[in-house]
Amino acid sequence: MSSKILIIGACGQIGSELTYRLRRLFGDKNVVASDINANNLEISKSGIFEIVDAQDFTSVKNCIEKHQIDTVYLMAAMLSATGEKHPEKAWDLNTDSLFHVLNLAKDKIIKRIFWPSSIAVFGPTTPTKYTPQYTTMEPSTVYGITKQVGERWCEYYFNKYGVDVRSIRYPGIISWKTLPGGGTTDYAVEIYHEAIKTNQYQCFLKADTELPMMFMDDAIKATIDIMMAKPKDIKIRSSYNLAAISFTPQEVADSIKKHIPEFEISYAPDFRQEIANSWPKSINDSYARQDWKWKHSFLLEDITQEMLFQLGKKYKTIKKTSQ
């Protein structure tokens, strides 16, 4: 479907895995990875890589023209927990970057955009159980505000200018290749690292904090599925609710204990507890399942097995090479 792809924010948790998957699907020469820095050496050395500042229109446009890009995956953003520490920076990065790619599509320089939203668009007045697609949305974090406003602009650019922009509201994403970048659901990745390294973890959320979560493989599948869908099947042009499973820190700890009986969890909730309290516990994603046949595969036990297996291997290799 697409001929030349640019990923902006390719060194991050999701961008990195998306880059690998898109390269396997479309070929190395058709997928350009970019980021504001080359911190993730595996990505920056694994194929075509460019330094691009998503906030700088000229930097984005030059890269797109240089590589004759027609499809952009905009993954650069400041996430929820970091955004609360730097509200203005979060606003500037998250909104400027989206405007740049929307305007490039409006001017027909690119044809298609993927832009991720988040469950952070919901807020304390949203129904928390099985949160519907259309409901009260009063986000209380700057991150959530940027995602909500982004959704409105995506829909506006589709309706007014026919821009083919597609979006999903990711839940918390769990993965082992690249560390998460400052979100409220990061505990669900850190816990596996600490279980392998030290057999213990101090969680920054309370034991019974239930949040919607998804394994990276499912998140990447959803991202590619929505981008491969026929335009007529994409009926929502703001952003689709997307779900897999929901669980609490205690439930993850219990699933780890089945594999590492000596694992201990303790709790020291911090400012992220308030953010988590404002988010849904579970999500109704029936539109995504109906319109473009979304289906998840990984349940908590599958995630625990895969995380412990992959991180076990990773830390063994690190230990060996440092000896």
Quick one: angle between helices 87-106 and 142-161, nearest 10?
10
Where would I find the beta strands (DSSP E) of 47-92? Answer: 49-51, 71-74
Q: Does 22 bind ligand NAD (CB under 6 A)?
A: no
Q: Does 283 bind ligand NAD (CB under 6 A)?
A: no
State how far the alpha carbon of 195 is from the alpha carbons of 119, 214, 251, in Å.
Answer: 27, 19, 14
Q: Does 15 bind ligand NAD (CB under 6 A)?
A: yes
Of 143, 157, 201, 240, the catalytic one is 143
For residue 143, give the nearest of 52, 275, 271 by alpha carbon.
Answer: 275
Written as one string, the DSSP assignment of 148-217 is HHHHHHHHHHHHHH--EEE-EEE-EEE-SSS---S-TTTHHHHHHHHHHHHSEEEESS-TT--EEEEEHH
Q: How far apart are the C-alpha atoms of 139 and 150, rounded to whole Å?
A: 13
Active site residue 143: yes
Q: Which stretch binds ligand NAD (CB under 6 A): 69-77, 241-249, 275-283, 314-322?
A: 69-77
User: Looking at 7, 76, 110, 165, which residue binds ligand NAD (CB under 6 A)?
Assistant: 76
Q: Does 181 bind ligand NAD (CB under 6 A)?
A: yes
| Least Å from the CB of residue 168 to ligand NAD | 9
State how far the alpha carbon of 6 is from the alpha carbons of 9, 149, 253, 260, in Å.
Answer: 10, 23, 38, 41
Of the two residues 54 and 227, which places its CB atom closer to ligand NAD in the complex?
Answer: 54
Phi, psi of 127 (to 5 degrees): -60, 130
| Least Å from the CB of residue 139 to ligand NAD | 13
Q: Does 19 bind ligand NAD (CB under 6 A)?
A: no
- Rounded CA Rg of the chain: 19
| Least Å from the CB of residue 258 to ligand NAD | 24
User: Looking at 77, 104, 191, 275, which residue binds ligand NAD (CB under 6 A)?
Assistant: 77
Of the two residues 17 and 194, which places its CB atom closer to ligand NAD in the complex?
Answer: 17
Q: Does 280 bind ligand NAD (CB under 6 A)?
A: no
Q: Which stretch binds ligand NAD (CB under 6 A): 52-60, 105-113, 230-238, 260-268?
A: 52-60
What the block records as the tokens of 108 is 């027909």
DSSP 283: B
Residue 46 CB-density burial (10 A; 0-12 exposed, 13-18 middle, 19+ buried) = middle
Amino acid identity of 277? N
Of the two residues 251 and 260, which places its CB atom closer to ligand NAD in the complex?
Answer: 251
Of the two residues 123 and 183, which places its CB atom closer to ligand NAD in the complex?
Answer: 183
Q: Does 6 bind ligand NAD (CB under 6 A)?
A: no
Q: Which residues bind ligand NAD (CB under 6 A)?
A: 8-9, 11-15, 35-37, 52-55, 75-77, 79, 93, 116, 118, 170, 172-173, 180-181, 183, 185
Catalytic center residues: 143
